[in-house]
Amino acid sequence: LQRDEKTRMKEQALNKSQQMLEEDVTRFDTFLQANDAKAHKAMKVAEEKTKEKQERMQKIKQMKQQISAIQSEISKNKEQKEECIKYKEFLDKLTPQEWKDKQIDLKKERRRKRREDYVNSRTAKINKRMQADLDA
């Protein structure tokens, strides 16, 4: 009887140990699955970040190329401007003073005429409005 009792106790202890072992295995499997999911998520995030970084680097490269092209164009335009200034100075030296004076006078006359035309047109509009108010 004592043997049966000891055997039963050992079986119960063995069953309890086996149950605890199964629970540990289940918890460990759950831990491994969670860890695996976290690792996959971390890999996905890392891949996305790498892709974003590559896209930003590509955009930076394109912008640097655009800046370089614009700087080149600016430099070319500056050279053209300097050349034009030299030609203008040369032509100014060749141009007689009387012709320059005449051009200045023509420019003043055109400006005076434009001003006079503007004043006349505004005056006509105002007179027309006043006449319409008087007729009403």
Q: What percent of the chain has pLDDT over 90?
A: 92
Q: Tell me the mean pLDDT in the region 38-67.
A: 97
Q: Please report, as a single letter, which amino acid is at residue 38.
A: K
CA distances, 111 to each of 25, 43, 116 (Å): 98, 74, 9
Amino acid 36: pLDDT: 96
Lowest-confidence segment of 15-19, 77-81, 84-88, 132-136 by average pLDDT: 132-136
pLDDT at 57 over 90: yes
Amino acid 5: pLDDT: 87
- Distance, CA of 15 to CA of 51 (rounded, Å): 53
Average pLDDT over the chain, rounded to an integer: 95
- Distance, CA of 1 to CA of 64 (rounded, Å): 92
- Distance, CA of 51 to CA of 56 (rounded, Å): 9
pLDDT at 1 over 80: no
How much is the pTM?
0.49
Reported as a pLDDT band with limits 50, 70 and 90, residue 69 is very high
pLDDT at 4 over 90: no
